[in-house]
Structure 1
Amino acid sequence: MSSKEKKKGALQEKLQLLRSVTHSHAVNKTSIIVDASKYIMELKQKVDARSQDVVEDSSVTMQVTVETLEKGFLVNVLSEKSWPGLLVSILEAFEDLGLEVLDANVSCSDTFRLEAVGGENQAESVDAQMVRQAVLQAIKKCTEE
């Protein structure tokens, strides 16, 4: 068997493996690769969605909930641990969204707890999901530093 035939056989073997891993029913090389690319994108979206649901540092879990109120949002953040600058980071996220803090209760000693009511300065351009994502990003930024 020539070197060229061995390479072709190895490529076919790898394509079949890729086809089985991605659950592709494609037959030609291009379609298998396109299916694999789509599969990878789906996995990436799933990972991104899950990583935004919970921010973890070792075994510490943050819980973030956002409820829509008549004029603004009720934001609750609860963690077993507090980080320096976490409150500032979250408040900066509020500011970036154009939310004004109308009322807040905060505890940042050993644990971190924030209950804040934010009112919109901008007319209906922010929804609860946007607020939640901004708060999660602020937490992630602060906990990674």
Structure 2
Amino acid sequence: MASMLQKRIALRRKIHILRAHTISKSLKLKLEAFKREYTNLMAIKREYLKLMMQMKMPTKDVEVQKIGQGFLVRVNCEKGTDRLVTILEAFDKMGLNVQQARVSCSNVFALEAIAAAQDQALGVKEVTKALLRTIEKNGGETTH
């Protein structure tokens, strides 16, 4: 009777070990599958966000930073007729002399300029507000 009990206990141990081993292998496989799927989904998300950022059309984005006696100005907005001309006229009215500029009109109108201020009292807020007004005033006229 004691030997039967010992055999039964030994058999239960072996079955328990086999079940634990089988469960851990299947869990490992499932976890690896989830990990692969998660990695793939994250790659898809990154590509989607990258495409969305490329397609994003900023309506009006003006950023002005004070540098020395002048300003670094970045403007992003929808394309429009005479957009560059009106912004340069606004610079002229504010007494800003453009020293260097870069303009792009591929998907949106983008301008980055370094402008020296003739009037030292001119501040970042005034330049930003003036450029936003200029863009809004010229915003109704768009070209394709």
TM-score range, shorter chain: 0.5 to 0.7
Q: Corresponding residue for 1:65?
A: 63
Structure 1 residues 60 and 74 mapped into 2: Cα distance closer, same or farther (>3 Å)? closer
More helix by share: 2
Cα offset, 1:91, TM superposition:
0.7
Report which of the two structures shows the higher radius of gyration computed on alpha carbons: 2
Q: 1:104 aligns with which of 84, 101, 105?
A: 101
Give the Å deviation of 1:60. Answer: 5.2
Cα distance in 1 between the residues matched to 2:137 and 2:85? 11
Q: Which residue of 1 aligns with 2:91?
A: 94
Q: Which residue is equivalent to 2:131?
A: 135
Q: Tell me the SS of whatever aligns to 1:95.
A: helix
What TM-score, normalized to structure 2?
Answer: 0.55
Q: Share of identical aligned residues, percent? A: 39
How far residue 109 of structure 1 moved from its aligned partner, in angstroms, is: 3.6
> How many corresponding residue pairs?
85
- Superposed, 1:1-145 pairs within 5 Å as 61-79=59-77, 81-122=78-119, 124-145=120-141
Q: Name stretches of at least 5 consecutive residues in structure 1 with no aligned partner.
A: 1-58
**Is the 2:74–2:113 contact (alpha carbons within 8 Å) kept by the matching residues of 1?**
yes
Report the Cα distance in structure 2 between the residues aligned to 1:130 and 1:62, rounded to whole angstroms.
16
Q: Which amino acid in the other structure matches residue 93 of structure 2?
A: D
* SS at 1:132 equivalent: helix
* C-alpha separation in 2, matches of 1:94 and 1:106: 15
Q: Which runs of 4+ in 1 moved over 4 A?
A: none
